[in-house]
Amino acid sequence: MIKVRFAPSPTGYLHIGGARTALFNWMYARAQAGKFVLRIEDTDRQRSRQEFVDEILESMRWLGLVWDELYYQSARFDIYRQQAQKLLDEGKAYKDGEAVILKIPVQEIKIDDLIRGEIAFDTATIKDQVLMKSDGSPTYSFACVVDDAAMAITHVIRGEDHISNTPKQIMIYQALGLKAPKFAHLPLIMGDDGRLSKRTGAVAVTDYKKEGFLPEAIVNYLMLLGWSPGGNQEKIDLASAVKKFSIKKVNKAAAVFSMDKLKWLNGQYIKEMPAGRLTDLIIPFLKEKGYVSADFDRERLEKIVELFKVRMSTLTDFLEWADFVFVDQLTVGDEIRQQHLSRDRSKEFRILSERVSRLDTFDTASLEKTFRDLVAELGIQASELVHPVRVALTGKAIGPGLFDTMAILGKEKTVQRLREAFL
Ligand code: GLU
């Protein structure tokens, strides 16, 4: 049976690169009806932290990458010690103080990487390898090999940055008399300006969550970093991707992380989501901002969400677009005020506010009629009043239709803002 593992070190948060590695392992396991192991490589007691472990597990769950087995290397030190002792007994390793060191025979090592094809390594440049450090902890490569073997891992799928570790690890397999698994090294992820930076994705998965990205969009985006479902398709759900996924089809060339593309994809998922579900996801953000209280009008909120859905790339975009509905006191920026409210429209605003305040049904249709009747009476173009009114009500020069906007804002705030716009 196929068995793969994702083996993060909890010395930091789960970043995009790590999440991509986890996803490709997960997809491979599901595609092959195999098993997906999550192994926390917490052998470095100094640098490993529980909060990182918690965050990694939470991010994995949030992304939907559930594991079949979970191990902590910190609980397996006895096993590493035993294996090191075995190599000492067999004369394949020697001691230097408390440290255990593997003798490296000179030979050529080749692997048939599932993505990169044949890779030959020259072990002449590889020095004898520390297996156990003098503090009694195993080195990464030793614990990794002992565990991959003990856990019956058939395929090691990891980032290309680990290629140089592969020959060392193969030597350890050989010394232990174990068969090495197959290897697949995933292409690097780069930013559009070269290295991966904070701006281009070197950010914790939890930060994306806080910024209002959807897990399904992130997963969809991650799978495109080195793989493609084919036929120019970009939006694909995880279940369909699993059906098409093949590790051999993963690219060798570095993948470029584009924040714009991720946002675009996220926007696509938002647009397709029913307003009810989207509202559920937005509510925690609104609560955090203090925009809604416990007894808010759910039905009204759903209507507001529906109105802004097409404009949103992230859930937090809603807060920026629709803030004017929730705040009591609107502040209109100087620049936008200068642009749209510099001409005195107090007379038109006063009449409009009086008329809309008398409306029994404060809905889009009656608001539009009131507005159109007024501009006809005043003999002005609708557009002359639309922009100033929008700015006075929302503080923004663009947004959904003006009459929809007035309707969701409600009579009280609409009338008040029209009255106060030129005070
Ligand atoms: N703990 C290693 C890392 O986080 C795992 C590398 C591997 O997959 O072998 O980079």
Give 352's contacts (C-beta < 8 A, 6+ positions apart): 370, 371, 374, 385, 389, 418
Q: Which amino acid is at 96?
A: D
User: What is the atom index within ligand 1 of the atom nearest the CA of 144?
Assistant: 9
CA dihedral 388, 391, 397, 398 (to 10 degrees): -110
Distance 39 CA to ligand 1 centre (A): 9
φ, ψ dihedrals at 193, nearest 5°: -110, 30
**Cα(225) to centroid of ligand 1, in Å?**
19
Q: Are strands 108-113 and 117-122 parallel, antiparallel or unpaired?
A: antiparallel
**Cα(401)–Cα(300) distance, integer angstroms:** 17
Amino acid at 249: K
Q: Whose CA is nearest to atom 3 of ligand 1?
A: 8
Q: How far apart are the first and last CA of the chain?
A: 75
Contact 305, 278 (CB under 8 A): yes
- Rounded distance from Cα 72 to ligand 1 centre (Å): 13
* Predicted TM-score (pTM) of this structure: 0.93
Nearest ligand 1 atom to the CA of 41 is 1
| Annotated catalytic residue 198 | yes
Ligand 1 pocket test: which of 11, 15, 111, 140 has the largest number of ligand atoms within 8 Å of its C-beta?
140
Reference 163, options 185, 193, 182, 178; nearest CA is: 185
Mutate to test the pocket of ligand 1, among 144, 156, 166 (most ligand atoms within 8 A of CB): 144
Same fold, 3-73+188-264 and 334-420: no
CA nearest ligand 1 atom 4, residue:
8
Whole-number Å distance, alpha carbon 77 to ligand 1 midpoint, is: 17
Please give all residues whose beta carbon lies within 6 A of any atom in ligand 1, as ranges.
7-9, 41, 144, 158, 162
**Per-residue tokens: 403:** 């009459």
Whole-angstrom CA distances from 200 to 56, 79, 83, 213, 290 are 20, 40, 42, 15, 30
* CA of 148, closest atom in ligand 1: 9
Question: CB-based burial of residue 20 (10 Å sphere; 0-12 exposed, 13-18 middle, 19+ buried)?
Answer: buried
- CA 7 – CA 157 distance, rounded (Å): 10
- pLDDT computed for residue 201 by the predictor: 61
Ligand 1 mean position to 5 CA, how many Å?
10
Quickly name the fold that domain 76-186 has: Rossmann fold (3.40.50)
Shortest-distance atom of ligand 1 to CA 165: 9
Centre of ligand 1 from the C-alpha of residue 162, in Å: 8
Residue nearest to atom 10 of ligand 1 (CA): 8
Q: How far apart are the CA of 368 and the centre of ligand 1, in A?
A: 61
Measured between alpha carbons, how far is 317 from 117 in angstroms, rounded to an integer? 44
| Tens-binned pLDDT, residue by residue, of the chain (423 aa) | 999 999 999 999 999 999 999 999 999 999 999 999 999 999 999 999 999 999 999 999 999 999 999 999 999 999 999 999 999 999 999 999 999 999 998 889 999 999 999 999 988 889 999 999 999 999 999 999 999 999 999 999 999 999 999 999 999 999 999 999 999 999 999 987 777 776 666 689 999 999 999 999 999 999 999 999 999 999 999 999 999 999 999 999 999 999 999 999 999 999 999 999 999 999 999 999 999 988 899 999 999 999 999 999 999 999 999 999 999 999 999 999 999 999 999 999 999 999 999 999 999 999 999 999 999 999 999 999 999 999 999 999 999 999 999 999 999 999 999 999 998
| Substitution site in 6, 41, 139, 161 for ligand 1 pocket (most atoms within 8 Å of beta carbon) | 41
Considering only CA atoms, which residue is closest to atom 5 of ligand 1?
A: 7
User: Any idea what the Cα angle at residue 141 is, between residues 139 and 144, rounded to 5°?
Assistant: 105
Distance 9 CA to ligand 1 centre (A): 7
Give the type of residue at 20: R
Please identify which of the residues 127, 179, 198, 248 carries the catalytic annotation.
198
Closest ligand 1 atom number to CA of residue 18: 4
* Range 3-73+188-264 classified under CATH 3.40.50.300: no
**Domain limits, the chain:** 3-73+188-264, 76-186, 273-326, 334-420
Question: What are phi and psi for residue 38, nearest 5 degrees?
Answer: -110, 120
The torsion defined by the Cα of 411, 416, 419 and 421, in degrees rounded to 10, comes to -110
Q: What is the 3-state secondary structure (H, E, C) of the chain?
A: CCEEEECCCCCCCCEHHHHHHHHHHHHHHHHCCCEEEEEECCCCCCCCCHHHHHHHHHHHHHHCCCCCEEEEHHHCHHHHHHHHHHHHHCCCEEEECCEEEECCCCCEEEEEECCCEEEEEEHHHCCCEEEECCCCCECHHHHHHHHHHHCCCCEEEEEHHHCCHHHHHHHHHHHHCCCCCEEEEECCEEECCECCCCCCCCCEHHHHHHCCCCHHHHHHHHHCCCCCCCCCCCCCCHHHHHHHCCHHHCCCCCEEECHHHHHHHHHHHHHHCCHHHHHHHHHHHHHHHCCCCCCCCHHHHHHHHHHHHHHCCCHHHHHHHHHHHHCCCCCCCHHHHHHHCCCCCHHHHHHHHHHHHCCCCCCHHHHHHHHHHHHHHHCCCHHHHHHHHHHHHHCCCCCCCHHHHHHHHCHHHHHHHHHHCCC
Q: Does 1.10.10 match the CATH number of domain 273-326? A: no
Report the atom number in ligand 1 closest to the C-alpha of 161: 10
The domain over range 334-420 is classified in CATH as 1.10.10.350: yes
Instruction: Tell me what pLDDT residue 202 has.
Output: 63
Q: What is the pLDDT of residue 411?
A: 97
Instruction: Specify the ligand 1 atom closest to the Cα of 159.
Output: 8
Counting ligand 1 atoms within 8 A of each CB, the residue from 162, 173, 189 with the most, and so the one to mutate, is 162
Residue 342, C-beta contacts closer than 8 angstroms, at least 6 positions apart: none
pLDDT, residue 200, reads 65
